[in-house]
Every structure is written in structure tokens, then in C-alpha cells.
Amino acid sequence: MNKILRQYFPASTLRMLPNRWDLMALPLVVGFLLFFSIGAHQTWAPISTLQSQAISLDPADLPEYAVRTTLRMLAAMAASLVFTLLYGTLAAKSRRAEKLLVPVLDILQSVPVLGYISFTVTFFLLLFPGRVLGAECAAIFAIFTSQAWNMTFSFYQSLRMLPRDLEEVASNLQLSAWQKFWKLDVPYAIPGLVWNMMMSMSGGWFFVVASEAITVGDQTITLPGVGAYLATAILQRNMAAVGYVILAMVVVILLYDQFLFRPLVAWADKFRMENTASQAGVPESWVLNLIQRTRLVQRLLRPVTRTIGRLGNRRFSLPRRRRKAPPSVHASRLVDWLWNGAIGALTLYALWHIITYVGTEVGLDECLHVLGLGLITLVRVMLLIALASLIWVPLGVMIGLRPTWAEKVQPLAQFLAAFPANLLFPVFVIVILRYQLNPDVWLSPLIVLGTQWYILFNVIAGASAFPNDFREAATNFRIRGWQWWRTVMLPGIFPYYVTGAITASGGAWNASIVSEFVAWGQDKVVAHGLGAYIAETTAAGDFPKITLGVVVMSLFVVVFNRVVWRPLYAVAENKLRMN
């Protein structure tokens, strides 16, 4: 066939025709365009349709619900990526901005999803009055708050740990700040960022029920989706419907693993920092290979790739100015004092407003009671983070050093990370009530269900990015056993572990809200802790107490990060940096 075509058509014309790979890829491209267009069209429907169309437990409706939920999660992922690049860069590049932005990020990741929803639902509904889009934006924002923080921490950590020799090369090549960002900063951070994007996507499933089916006082929002379907199944105690949700989750996770994350992991492998090739093989993706073999699809994508490349090469140089003498040490210290004073004043102003608002209905006894509940949850979080570290750090290293293992474990890890604790509510409620068990002990595993994966995914990212040169050097010097862990691997993955532990800690505090207050139908099991307090006050619509619970949770997270994780970050940056 090719010989016949060459006889009648010039080579330039043949290059315009699709090949057999295009015939396979084009249906996928058209399907994805229809997938997005259908979901976007439904967001412009009148909001009255949400009240007239009740959530159905018919399995035939699950595919549509799965499409709606997946679109929300992808929209939140896109917003999280933009936020990560902007916020993470500013925090890593500016010493003064870091003093404000990093503590704010600690607070943001500690504020529970229910806390965001409680105060943002009304805003988004007023932003798009009478349209489903307002409720959709509220749900997307809630999912965004469960995705963005660990991605931002990962990008920030990568920029802080950038090898100095690479920075010197960029300086010698006279790259502008814009060029350095796209040619050095982003490529170096991509391996860890991709694995954290996977974790964020999976973490969004954990709170999808809270984002699609939530009641805050007399305000009820129920969007068609897997989360709303699961909430209805739990309310009606329908075990068959819970099983359908699990099946739907498996299908959706496998699809976006094959069409999104596996191609990203295979593409990100080229950004590993090494001089010698790994002997363990490289990750592959049939979707990426298919796109690379197409002719027509690549021609359609070429304008986009060229535009991105040109933007990355632009210098965006400012007009030359006369070089000024650097500021004196005294002037720099004065600016630091003024900046620190402004941050302190802003903090005191915010605290004053919070105390004034909460003090209208909450007394000192209630505040002390909430602090005590916070200490109980803190002990749970610390124990579970330590347990998860002992289990997942060795396994994460084993998986990350073997791309073939990572390729097989990747979809399983995504599914386990995405598995909502809500699906286990029936088992825990029935068992605890049947055998009269202590909820303070037996509800704790639900917290670790949503935290351990941050550690696993970040350790896998660190092991995957570990230079093969260092591994070969350790082999040549016959470094084995515990010495290998202590002197080679643990220092190499330590920055990634700290990032995973910080986000796992914040995720554990968030998970405590759905894990310390568990319901199955009319049966409820409540553990002592700050999470249960926030869940109960949110259901009651008591905003002063919701605010008190959120503030106390943020206080515990920020103090713990300042006392424990930030010093470890400093150790990673100063002593374990690859130069």
C-alpha cells in the first residue's frame, strides 16, 4: 500500500496523511473531547435541577456519576498545578516571602475540607447565581484543598534542594530567571511532582463524599457524582451499592492511570539526574508510545509544543538599569525587622478577629476542652505517622529503585490511596457495636488509611530520582546492609520523606474528621478527638465552634511543623543536598 501511494503522491502529501497509529489514536482523542464537552455542558444547567433530580442508586447511573466526579478532580488538579508553580516558586526563591508563605501553607493544609466548604459554599453560589456552576466550583475548590498542598510542598522541596553545580551551570549560560525556571527548576522537580500529583488525585477521592454531599446547617448541596452516590448508599445502608462504588472506582483509577499518570511517569523518567543508564529498565507507556508513532496527531499537537518551547526560551529581559550598590547589612536587617513586624501585626490582627468572633458563643471552658481534644488527636497522628514510616519507607525504596516493580504497583497504590474511609464505615461500626470495642482505639486505623500513602509516594519518588551513579559507586565500594541504608539510601530520600511526612501529618488531621465520627445508617460511633468535634459542629451548623475547632487544629499542625519537621527540612537542605 505504501509503495502504491508513493507512486501517485509526493512525499510532502504523504506526510499529511494519517498512518495506522493515527487510526488508533484519533478515536481516543475524540472520545476525550466529548468527555470534557459533555461535563462542561452540564455545569450550565439551572441549579434547580440538583433539587429535582435525586441521587439514584441504580448501577446504570454510575458511569455518568463517575464522569462528573473525574472531571471535577481533573479541574482541581489543573488548578493545583498552577497554584504549585506560583506559590512554591515564590516561597523557595524569596527569603522574606518564605517566612510568610510556608507557615501559611502549614495552616492551609491543616484546615479541614469541611472547614473550607463551610465558608465557601455561599460565596460560590452567589458568584454564579441560579447555575450548577456555582455548586461545581464549590466542589472543585474543596477537592483542590485536598490536592494542592502536598504538590506545593514537593515543588518547594525540590527547588530548595536544587544541586549547586546545576545552578552554577545555569548562571554560566546566562539564563534569565524565566529560562532557568523552565529549563532547570521545573525539570528537576518533575519526577517528585508527578508522583505527588498521583497522590493528590488519589487523595481527592478520600474527600469526594464531603465535596459532593455535604450539609452545613440548613444549606444542603448534593452534586451528581460517585461521592454523592456513596453518601446515599451509606445513609440507606445499601451494601450492594457500596460494592458498585468500589467497582466504579477500580475502573476509573485504571483508566486515568493508563491514559494520564503512566504516560507522565514514563515521560518524567528522562529528567532523572544521572550520567549512566539504570540497569533496572525504564518505565514505559503504551499511550505515550502510540502518540509518538502517530503522524496526524503529532502535526496537530506541534503548534502547541512549539509555542510552549518558545515561551520557555524567551528571556523576558527588562530594560537595563544602572547597577546599584548592594544594600548594607544594616539596611537589610532593618528591612527584615520591618517585614517580620508586618507579619506579626497581621497575625495578631487575624487572631483578634477570630477571638472576637468565637468569643460571642464560646467560653474559656470550651476552649480548654477543645485543646484537650486536640492533644488526643495529636497523639494518634504521631503514633500513626511513626507506624506508617516503619512500614512504607523500606517498601517505597524497593519499589522506587525498580521501575518494573513501580509500573506494576502504581495502579494498586493509586487504588489503595484513593480508597475512601467511608467504604469501611459499615465494617467498623458493626464490629465496634457488636463486640463493644473502644472507638478511641479501633477507629484509629481509618486515619492511617488516608495518611500512609503520602509517605509511600514521596519515598518512591525519591528512590526513583536517586542517581544511578551513586548506586553504582556504593556497589563498587561494597557498601551493603544497614551501612547502605544509613550512608547511601536514607540520606538520598530524606528530603522526599520529610515532604511526605509533613503532608501525611496534615492529611491525618483532615482524615480525623471523617474517622473519629463514623455513621452507618442511624448507628453512630464517636471517638474522643478534635476531628469528631469539628464533624459534629459542622453537621449542626455552629460556625463559632467550627471556627474554634479549625483554629485549634491549625495551631497544633503549625507548632508541630515548626518544632519537628522544619528542623528536619533544614538538616536535609544543609547536610544532605546533592552538590
The three-point CA angle 486-491-494 to 5° equals 120
Element (H, E) at 525: strand 523-526
Phi, psi of 429 (to 5 degrees): -65, -45
The beta strand positions in 411-516, using DSSP E, are: none
The beta strand positions in 146-296, using DSSP E, are: 213-216, 219-222
Taking CA atoms, 546 is separated from 105, 510, 539, in Å, by: 20, 14, 10
Which residues, listed in sequence order, are joined to residue 215 by a DSSP beta bridge? 220
Give the whole-angstrom CA distance, residue 347 versus residue 336.
16
Residues in contact with 445: Cβ distance below 8 Å, sequence separation at least 6, in sequence order: none
C-alpha cell at position 347: 497575625
- CA-closest candidate to residue 421, choices 499, 524, 517, 502: 517
Q: List, as one string, the DSSP characters of 65-84.
A: HHHHHHHHHHHHHHHHHHHH
Cβ atoms of 512 and 380 closer than 8 Å: yes
C-alpha cell at position 462: 525519591
pLDDT by position in tens, the chain (length 579):
455 555 555 555 555 567 777 777 777 777 777 777 766 667 777 777 776 677 888 898 898 888 888 888 999 999 999 999 999 999 998 888 888 888 888 778 777 666 666 667 777 877 877 778 888 888 888 889 888 988 998 899 889 888 888 888 888 888 888 888 988 999 989 988 998 898 888 777 777 777 786 554 565 668 888 888 888 888 888 889 888 988 988 888 888 888 888 888 888 888 876 655 554 556 778 888 888 888 777 777 777 777 777 777 776 554 444 445 555 666 777 777 887 788 788 878 887 877 887 877 788 889 999 999 999 999 999 999 999 999 999 999 999 888 778 777 877 877 777 776 666 777 888 888 888 889 998 888 888 776 788 899 889 888 888 888 888 888 888 888 889 998 889 988 998 898 888 888 887 887 788 788 887 767 888 899 998 998 888 777 788 888 888 889 888 888 888 888 888 878 877 766 665
Give the whole-angstrom CA distance, residue 251 versus residue 294.
27
Give the whole-angstrom CA distance, residue 118 versus residue 216.
6
Residue ranges of the domains in the chain? Answer: 20-270+281-315+354-575
Neighbours of 559 (CB within 10 A): 12
Cβ atoms of 454 and 199 closer than 8 Å: yes
Phi, psi of 316 (to 5 degrees): 50, 45
Cβ atoms of 517 and 532 closer than 8 Å: yes
Residues in contact with 340: Cβ distance below 8 Å, sequence separation at least 6, in sequence order: 99
Q: Residue 437: helix, strand or coil by DSSP?
A: coil
| Residue 505 amino acid letter | S
Superfamily name and number for 20-270+281-315+354-575: MetI-like (1.10.3720.10)
Element (H, E) at 520: strand 517-520
Give the whole-angstrom CA distance, residue 561 versus residue 56.
43
Neighbours of 224 (CB within 10 A): 22
Residue owning grid cell 522544619: 566
Residues in contact with 14: Cβ distance below 8 Å, sequence separation at least 6, in sequence order: 5, 6
Give the whole-angstrom CA distance, residue 399 versus residue 463.
8
| Residue 111 amino acid letter | V
